[in-house]
Chains A and B, each alone.
Chain A
Amino acid sequence: MSEKYKNKTLAEIINIEQAKNLLNKNLRKGDRGLLDYRDIKIETGTIKKAFGSATVNLGDTVVVAGVNFELGTPFIDTPNNAILLVEGEILPTASVEAEAGPPDEHEIEISRVIDRGIRESGMINFEKYVIIPGETVIKIFVDFNIINDDGNIIDAANLAAVAALATAEIPKVEYIREHIDEVNNINIKEIPRESFKVEEIPIANTIGIFDGKVLVDPDAAEEEVVDTLITFTHLSTGEICSVQLLKGGLTYEEVFKTLDVAYQKNLELREILKNNGISL
């Protein structure tokens, strides 16, 4: 298939061909095993202006996530719930193909997968951040940007979003309730804050299948050559809270095979988060 090289640079083509040759021999760049993640570096509080933030390096993939809080009106069908908005963008700096402009379907899919993980996991107690039911609630914004894209954006962005949320500080709900009359005149950034308590930690693990072989944490070149990409998001309880088949198809058996690998790897990433001070 020559067409996958359309719009690719020579360096990228070489990387892709190299990845294919290596995977055929069960090898990966940097002597990585099929079930090994690249090095992960998590740093929180990297953006001082946000209420919460984190920068994650997953090999050469770099993601920055920021959390912001605002006051807003709840949705009509959920008057007793705070609002969560998760949006991600691949910045034009991220790769040759990345383009500025409104999010494309790839960016939307990634954002929605991470959104579902956070939303469905019960990570956030949405009822806790209601000021006046049906009128005023806290809007929770989680924005992430891919600064450099070397594949497996979902796992990296999920770690960044989770780390930013888990270390965020939220304006005190009690304080806002007491000062609700003057709330239009005060700057939300100046309201006294408290720790944003998360109730769960969702971990996303993306699994690739190449010629029947299961591998984790595909880099950008590997993403091009694998037949299948699937993401499972797990909770601390071992339950699954989100699944997304991103590319290709898989046999019925492979569904459960990749699920098991994702579960094992979720434990590993959970441990790394814990080592960075992020746990329940």
Chain B
Amino acid sequence: MSNNFKRIDGRTPDQLRPYKIRAGILKNADGSAEIKLGKNWIVVGVYGPKEHFPKFEALQDRAILFCRYHMAPYSTTERKSPKPSRREIELSKVIRSALEEAVILERFPEMSIDIYIEVLQAEGSTRVASITAASVALAEAGIPMKDMVVGCSAGKVNGKIVLDIGETEDKEGEADLPIAIMPNLKKVVLLQMDGKLTHEEFKEAFEMALKGALELYEEQKRALKDLIEKMKELEGESNE
């Protein structure tokens, strides 16, 4: 029975939407990345480290990480007001808090590192997609990190635990569980849930989200390693 289970977009329960990550897409930013996950399209730019202003707010033993998660007015079906909503303020905080676990901030006292996350098109699970792209952008910026951070969501839709919740599934589903992990250190750095899940369902959803995150981690690796691969092919191009 469960093998025949198809989701609203035709996916199997443990299938991610199509995804693609690209690193170094912005010319002006110190580091940047883009993620496409289903119809989600998110761009991240990293600036810094730079001197923190105002000076009295700077920390003497580490850098301050600033993070803004922002949705474009045209990113949703109904126009979203461009001014930051309470949801965006909360998400900016949980994303920052997750990335703080990975970035070695102690190397840059008195500095700040700014992460700007712009959701250009939203289709559910944007916070975890944002975090996945943000950590690629930080790596591309050359900011030291203990590990990458990669996120994925799972949830319960029509009584079934499924991976990578889409927009309709989020609205109609019974529960949503976004997580982000440091895949090598095996630590959870973002964990939220809303809806209703028994302890068994929570465990099942958590483990499914974990598997999805590890699949996306491979994509992060590919996107970053591509940058270097591109810089190796001198012969091919010099013939042009």
Compute how far the CA of A111 lies from the CA of B90 in the bound complex, rounded to whole angstroms.
Answer: 10
Residues of A participating in the B interface, judged by any CB pair closer than 8 Å: 1-3, 6, 76, 103, 105-106, 108-109, 111-112, 116, 119-122, 230, 235, 238-252, 254-256, 259, 263
> In which size bucket is the chain B interface?
35 or more
CB <8 Å contact, B97 and A247: yes
Q: Which of B92, B182, B199 contacts A240 (CB 8 A)?
A: B199
Q: Which residues, 196 to 213 on B, are CB-close (under 8 Å) to A?
A: 196-199, 202-203, 206, 210
CB <8 Å contact, B188 and A239: no
Which of B55-63, B133-141, B223-231, B232-240 forms contacts with chain A? B55-63
Q: Which of A103, A243, A250, A263 has the most CB of B within 10 A?
A: A243
Compute how far the CA of A251 lies from the CA of B179 in the bound complex, rounded to whole angstroms.
Answer: 12
Compute how far the CA of A2 lies from the CA of B92 in the bound complex, rounded to whole angstroms.
Answer: 25
CB <8 Å contact, A251 and B197: no
Q: Which of A108, A122, A241, A243 contacts B86 (CB 8 A)?
A: A108
Compute how far the CA of A215 lies from the CA of B191 in the bound complex, rounded to whole angstroms.
Answer: 18
Give me 5 A-to-B residue pairs in the complex whose CB atoms sit less than 8 angstroms apart, sorted by A's number.
A109-B90, A240-B198, A244-B191, A245-B192, A263-B199
CB <8 Å contact, B97 and A239: no
Q: A256-B203, A259-B199 are in contact. Are A109 and B193 (CB under 8 A)?
A: no
B94 within 8 A of A: yes
Q: A245-B94, A248-B189, A249-B182 are in contact. List 10 more A-B contacts (CB 8 A).
A: A103-B86, A106-B93, A108-B93, A109-B90, A112-B86, A112-B87, A239-B197, A240-B196, A243-B193, A249-B189
B11 within 8 A of A: no
Compute how far the CA of A250 lies from the CA of B182 in the bound complex, rounded to whole angstroms.
Answer: 10
